[in-house]
Amino acid sequence: MKLLSSLFHYVTLTSKKYGIDESHGLGHSMEVLRNANQIFSCEVYTNPFLIEQERIIYTASVIHDMCDKKYMVQEKGICEIESFLGDKMLHSEIDAVKKIISTMSYSTVKKQGFPILNEYQHAYHIVREADLLAAYDVERAIIYNLYKTNGDLYVAYKDVRDLFDKRIFKHFDDGLFITEYSKKKAMELERESHKQLEIWGEIVNRL
């Protein structure tokens, strides 16, 4: 089985094992991978060294939430990922993946800032920004909050509205985007998010 297929299979099995809902499961992994591919394709022209780190970038993009603190003890998730990748990547590649996925979350960056990953710094930002771009999906955020609120759409929408106002729409102010592709794409997604929030507000208040 090729690496990418193995990674998706791992996400499916791990999601079932830890009760990772669809907002952070396979569909999200695929979206983040697609975002990472787009960023990588733009950045590799001026940073050709990224070619040698492509496997690291794509692997981290797919499995980044398989150690998420919302669903499991992060250290345990990291250990399981390391074991899974043991016969699929070089030790140095696995170590880079571990460093990226353990330091890229919004909460970690807000508390500690960006880590210093030396030759993998650019790869780190590509994966991190790919995940940030996925955060503009209003419906994904509602899905996550529906699981948290036991299906109360009104409460879920209110929480999502607050999330976007206090966090998502402040990504630029917080200096979270480094690459030009992400800066441009985030502006497009932000405009679309405002429209989605407005539509869902109408739906929620109508029924």
Residues 77 and 166 in one domain: no
Into how many domains does the chain fold? Answer: 2
Residue 207 reports pLDDT greater than 80: no
Listed residues 134, 160, 195: the one ending a domain:
134
Question: 159 and 111, same structural domain?
Answer: no
Classify 117 as helix, strand or coil: coil
Distance of CA 139 to the CA centre of its chain: 15
Cβ contact 134:140 at 8 Å: yes
Q: Cα 195–63–79 angle (5° rounding)? A: 140
Tokens read off for 54:
């492509």
Helix, strand and coil content of the chain, in percent to the nearest 5, comes to 75, 0, 25
Domain boundary among 77, 101, 134: 134
Whether 179 and 117 map to the same domain: the answer is no
Q: Same domain for 177 and 195?
A: yes
pLDDT, position 148: 85
Measuring CA to CA, which residue among 131, 138, 106 is closest to residue 34? Answer: 131
Contact 12, 68 (CB under 8 A): no
Q: Which residue carries 């710094």 as its tokens?
A: 121
Q: Is 90 found in the same domain as 42?
A: yes
Shared domain for 112 and 140, answered yes or no, is no
Using an 8 Å Cβ cutoff, are 177 and 186 in contact? Answer: yes
Residues 79 and 141 in one domain: no
Note the Cα 60 to chain centre separation in Å. Answer: 9
* pLDDT of 150: 79
> What average pLDDT does range 110-125 have in this prediction?
96
Q: For residue range 152-195, list pLDDT tens digits in order.
A: 899 999 999 999 999 999 999 999 999 999 999 999 999 999 99
- Please tell me whether residue 2 adopts helix, strand or coil conformation: coil
* Mean pLDDT value across the chain: 96
What is the span of the domain harbouring residue 190? 136-207
- Whether residue 34 is predicted with pLDDT greater than 70 in this model: the reply is yes
Confidence of residue 151 (pLDDT cuts 50, 70, 90): confident
Q: 206 pLDDT band (50/70/90 cuts)?
A: confident
User: Where among 119, 134, 149 does a domain terminate?
Assistant: 134
The pLDDT, as a whole number, for residue 1 is 65
Compute the average pLDDT of residues 28-53: 97
Do 28 and 48 fall within a single domain? yes
Query: pTM of whole model > 0.85?
Result: yes
Question: Residue 156: enclosing H or E segment and its boundaries?
Answer: helix 153-166
One domain, residues 120 and 173: no
User: Could you tell me if 117 and 31 lie in one domain?
Assistant: yes
- Judged by average pLDDT, the poorest of 31-40, 62-71, 141-150 is 141-150
Q: What per-residue confidence (pLDDT) applies to 104? A: 96
Same domain, 99 and 173: no
Q: Please name the residues in contact with 92: beta carbons below 8 A apart, sequence gap of 6 or more.
A: none
Asked whether the CA dihedral 98, 146, 23, 172 is positive or negative, the reply is negative
Residue 37: its H or E element: helix 26-43
